[in-house]
Structure formats: structure tokens, C-alpha cells
Amino acid sequence: MDVIHTKIAIIGSGPAGLLLGQLLYKAGIEHVIIEQRSADYVAARIRAGILEQVSVDLLKFAGVDQHLQRDGLPHSGIEILTQGKKHRIDLAGLTQGKQVTVYGQTEVTKDLMQAREQAQLHSYYKAQDVQVHDFDDAPYVTFNQNGKAYQVQCDFIAGCDGYHGICRASAPQDKIKTFEKVYPFGWLGVLADVPPVADELIYVQSDRGFALCSMRSETRSRYYLQVPLTDHVDDWSDERFWEELKNRLDAESQQNLVTGPSIEKSIAPLRSFVTEPMRFGKMFLAGDAAHIVPPTGAKGLNLAASDIAYLSAALIEYYRTGSEQGIDQYSEKCLQRVWKAERFSWWMTHLLHRFDSESEFDLKIKQAELAYILGSEAGQTTLAENYVGLPYEIMDLDQLS
């Protein structure tokens, strides 16, 4: 068995693990990344595409924003379409100039992987039988790769291995608590090389169900439809998808919609999920390993980034000063922001989707709530502040320098 000595063993090579690795690298802290999938698989995963301003700032600090600055699409507003009429939420005007940036999670992952490769940092892809051990005292990780057994002895384990990963599954059952809400529908997503239907995202509340018109660039669009969980991708031809999307749009958007062959099509179930705590001894959970949000609020990738900001700051503080304050406060600080994002994502999902269990009274109340939000500066400000991203304490990036 090959024995590897390092300070941090990062499990998972998604954006959370890669961003943590990049920040640790900048701070001169030794680490390795262990990933069960291949590098090509990780780089090709289609995920979210909206970055909060604090996430953009963090990627800039990490030194991986060159492509983001060139190709990202800053957005200062969003549209909400309800009862056939569009209403613009002026994100920048309501939040003292804050905005979001459209830039696909796939591109964020590729940028981080490229930076890691250029720095010649150690990553173990296609790792089999990954196990975490003794994280209360003297943590280590074991895995197999290409028929060879490895043991990684480390000071800490960062569990960035997603909802189905080994890290959360290894937490003591008497010390972990989970909270979950599963929604009775999914999102059918289509990626196509066609220009977006509008300059800004359109969130659609309609009698036929929710829809979202998004984009990845000026020539690539991402569209979503609310569909029953019983539907399968094979049920939806491109022609059927485009026709149903048109049926949920207003007349102007219908005229502007450019259709074309899909280059990716999938159905994602929606759930809200939180694990408490997010630290178990010397093992930390971050990103999807600790929490899932429905994509309506565009918070999944951004929550992962805020987890990593807290975790990297805590680890850097520990290695530079010996203080464990950041480590001890990691879970509490993360969860304060996590639950606010969970609330916003749940609220947006409830407000814009149709539920089979809704009565006519429920629907009228929902329409009245949306009408209030759209007709009130205070209501719009609440939506805008949450959408662009609530602040977190560590955004003084000097703490990571």
C-alpha cells in the first residue's frame, strides 16, 4: 500500500473541492483531491449557470476568473412572467448596484481543473472504494486506483463529494440530523445552440406550470419546464418541448423564441435538503454533501462557494496562527447562510410552480402574494437581495490572503 502524507484530503472534484484546492494552493497548504469519477466525466457535467457577486469575487481572488471575465454575462435584472405579462426586477437598482453573472458551472469546473493542472497539483481520478477513517482523532483516507491501494494520512478531511458521497454517509448516525422536502415534480432541461429568447432570464408562472428561459452565452440557451416526476426524457421530443415552452410564454417571447436541436436533455427532481452539523471532528462537509436546494433560486453552486470561503479561511487561520476558532465556527456560520438560501429557494419554488395538491383558494393566495411582490418596492427588494446573494462574513478576502 502506498502511503501519502498531506495536510488536507479533499474528497470530490466538483466545484467545491476544486475551489478549496485552489484556495489552499494559493495559501501554500498541501492537499490532494480524490475523485471516484474520471476527469472527463467531471468536466462534462451540466449544472447551474448563475453566479452571485460574492461568488464572482471569490473566483477572482482564487485567480481563475480570466474566462469568466471574458465570457460571463453580467445581468442587472430578471423578468417574471405571470398571467401573460412580464415584470422586471431591477436587481442592481434595488441592491445598490449588485448583479449576477451568467456563467455555466461546467465552465467554472473547467477553469478550476485547468488551473490545477497548470500548478501540477495532485488529483486522483477514478478512485475506487474510497473510505474515510478515524476523523475524530487521526484521519486518513483509503482508496484503490488502477489496481493499487493507497492510504492518505492527513490533518483534516474535506467532504466535497456530493449528495451521494461517502463522507456524509460515514458520519455517526447518532450525531447527524437531516431535514428534507421532496417536491412532486421535476425540471426538464434542454440545452441548445440557439440565441436566448431575451437579454435577461425569464421566470414563468403559468397555468400549465413553471418554465425558465435562461442562457449560457449569447449563442447557447438553457430552457426548463416543470414536468411530473413520472415523465421520462424519452417522452419529450425536441418538437414537443419547444411547443410546450411556447404555450407557457407570452406573445412577444413566443415570437422571439428561436428553436433548434437539443444538445443535452435531462429531467432533474427537485428537493430541499440540509445536514446538521457540517463538521464531524476533523471532517467537514461542504456543498451538495451538506445541502441541496431546488434550482429555482439559483443557489446551489453559490452555497458551495460560500461553504468553501468559510472552510478555506478556517484552515488557513489554523495553519498560520494555530487558532481553531474558524474551525469551531465553520458549521454554525455555514448553516446560517444555508438556511436563508433554503428558505428563498423554497419560497421561489412554491410561488412559481403549480402543485397538484393546491386548491383554488391556495392558487388565489399565491397569485395575490406574487402581485404584492411585483407591485411593491419593498417586496421586489426582498426578492432582489436574496437573488443577488446575501453577504457572508468572510468576504473580506484579506482573511484569505
Cβ-based burial of 181 (10 A; exposed 0-12, middle 13-18, buried ≥19): middle
Spatial neighbors of 150 by CB under 8 A, at least 6 apart, are 1, 2, 3, 4, 124, 127, 142, 143, 144
DSSP 240-283: HHHHHHHHHS-HHHHHH-----EEEEEEEEEEEEEEE-SEETTE
* 299 catalytically annotated: yes
* 87 catalytically annotated: no
* 277 catalytically annotated: no
CB 228 within 8 A of CB 204: no
Q: How many CA atoms lie within 13 A of 45 on its CB side?
A: 15
Q: Which amino acid is at 182?
A: V
Three cell numbers, residue 256:
422571439
Spatial neighbors of 175 by CB under 8 A, at least 6 apart, are 277, 280
Rounded Cα gap, residues 251 and 359, in angstroms: 28
- Among candidate residues 299, 333, 353, 366, the one labeled active-site is 299
- Among candidate residues 103, 124, 183, 203, the one labeled active-site is 203
- Among candidate residues 295, 318, 330, 353, the one labeled active-site is 295
- Among candidate residues 75, 98, 333, 353, the one labeled active-site is 75
* 75 catalytically annotated: yes
Q: At what angle do helices 15-26 and 105-118 cross, to 10 degrees?
A: 40
* 150 catalytically annotated: no
In 62-212, alpha helices (H): 66-71, 91-94, 105-118, 166-170
The residues annotated with a catalytic role in the active site are 75, 203, 295, 299, 387
